[in-house]
Amino acid sequence: MNPIIEEVVQRLAPLPGNLQQKVLDYVQAIVDEAQTGTPGVRLLHFAGTIPLTELETMRQAIEKGCEQVEPHGW
């Protein structure tokens, strides 16, 4: 068994059931977060589909709009 898993099990075993449940809930939240999104390999067929002129327009907008502070924006 993986040594990290073994240590987690050892540390988890003496805890009362309600705390074990909290750990399980936390682990499930991490698993759910890790599984969200789309794997990059599934997006590869989109590569090269945006015309270069549009990419340049996007680049310019990002450069113009980034790193500007809007003190009343938040």
Q: CA 23, 26, 32 angle in degrees (round to 5)?
A: 140
Is 15 within a domain? yes
Q: What is the span of the domain harbouring residue 7?
A: 3-35
Is 73 within a domain? no
Is 66 within a domain? no
Looking at residue 74, what is its pLDDT?
62
pLDDT in tens, 4-43: 999 999 999 999 999 999 999 999 999 888 888 788 888 8
Q: pTM of the predicted model, to two decimals?
A: 0.48
Is 16 within a domain? yes
Q: CA 7, 13, 18 angle in degrees (round to 5)?
A: 125
Is 68 within a domain? no
pLDDT in tens, 42-61: 889 999 999 999 999 999 98
Number of domains in the chain: 1
Q: Band the pLDDT of 69: cuts 50, 70, 90.
A: confident
**Under a CB-based contact definition with an 8 Å cutoff, are residues 12 and 20 in contact?**
yes
Is 29 within a domain? yes
